[in-house]
Amino acid sequence: MFISSQNSAPSFKDFTLVMPAVAVGNVGQLAVDLIVSTLNMSRVGYIHTDCLIPMTGNNPYATCKEDAEELHTPAEVYTAAELKIAVLQIRAPIIQTKSQKFRQLLVSWIKASEFSRTVVLSSSHAYQRDDQQLQSTPLRYLVTPSLLKVSADALKELGWKEMERVSAFPGLTDANTEQRLYIPGGGITKGLYTDSCAEDLPLAVLLLFCSEGDNIPDAFTLVNHLNNWLHLLENPSQKSNKWKIPTSWSLLFGSGIPPALF
């Protein structure tokens, strides 16, 4: 359930929604952090659900002491009205037994909000790629038939590679071997894409093959590819500092070793 933090509920009609999947390396979430911070997006509400591990914390995008004291929740919605962009940031893992319920909640909200399209930023385990997936860049995309109708030319111009279907039984070369969509480490990515196809929702998935570790470079790679499509910033590659790093990133790996240990 979406709960507005404003006096009147915001309209998302014809907005583009960008959201992460909680996946390997948290690449999608880090990329969304960059978008919210750089575009100085406004928080307009949050998703209330029992499908996410409950948590709260200080404002991850604080620019002053007063901002830092704001409390933030696991699933919040931000907008940049002038760009007609909305972002759903998910900061907590999905409770495993409630994954399907959470996908259904998202699909219902997306339909009710009348977003023009939804882009899911995700990632997948690099070590589980098959031979054909090793022969090109680590970026892949998926698009539902509903969005393909209006975005086919743009996607073709970008030159991205569609996520391959792989054999259900690796190593077998029989022509009759079943091919399937396989996104290991991708969380709800596959399920949300499949649900969106069934519901005729205009949705795209943009993902990187990566490994756990310092995934900040992966986040920059993913958000730059997204920008090539949505044009959130003009020519970000010309200046590496065009994307604004949020203050919370200084604590990505903890707050350092306590001096008292020594």
- Please give the pLDDT value at position 68: 79
Task: Decide if 259 is inside a domain.
Answer: no
Q: Are the C-beta atoms of 181 and 165 separated by less than 8 Å?
A: yes
Is there a contact between 114 and 12 (Cβ–Cβ < 8 Å)? Answer: yes
Strand pairing category for 179-181 and 165-167: antiparallel
Q: Give me the pLDDT at residue 211, please.
A: 93
For residue 251, the model assigns a pLDDT of: 76
> At a CB cut-off of 8 Å and minimum separation 6, what does 107 contact?
192, 195, 196, 199, 201
Instruction: Report the pLDDT value the prediction gives residue 172, as an integer from 0 to 100.
Output: 61
CA 223/CA 32 separation, integer angstroms: 8
Can you give the pLDDT at residue 163?
92
Q: What is the pLDDT of residue 195?
A: 96
What's the pLDDT at 237?
53
Q: In this structure, is residue 174 part of a structural domain?
A: yes
Please name the residue that has the structure tokens 């933090």. 5
Residue 1, in any domain of the structure:
no
Output the domain CATH number for residue 16.
3.40.50.10900
Residue 16 domain flag: yes
Q: Give every residue of the chain whose pLDDT is below 70, as ranges.
A: 6-7, 169-177, 235-241, 253-257
Residue 260: inside a domain, yes or no? no
Q: Within a domain: residue 177?
A: yes
Full residue range of the structural domain in which residue 134 is found: 11-248
The tally of domains found in the chain comes to 1
Averaged pLDDT of the chain? 88
Q: What is the pLDDT of residue 254?
A: 67
Q: How far is CA 33 from the centre of its chain?
A: 10
Q: What is the pLDDT of residue 105?
A: 95
Residue 65 lies in a domain: yes
Are 226 and 140 in contact by the 8 Å Cβ rule? The answer is no
| Beta strands per DSSP E along 69-138 | 71-72, 75-80, 85-90, 117-125
Provide the pLDDT for residue 175: 57
80 part of a folded domain: yes
- pTM of structure: 0.89
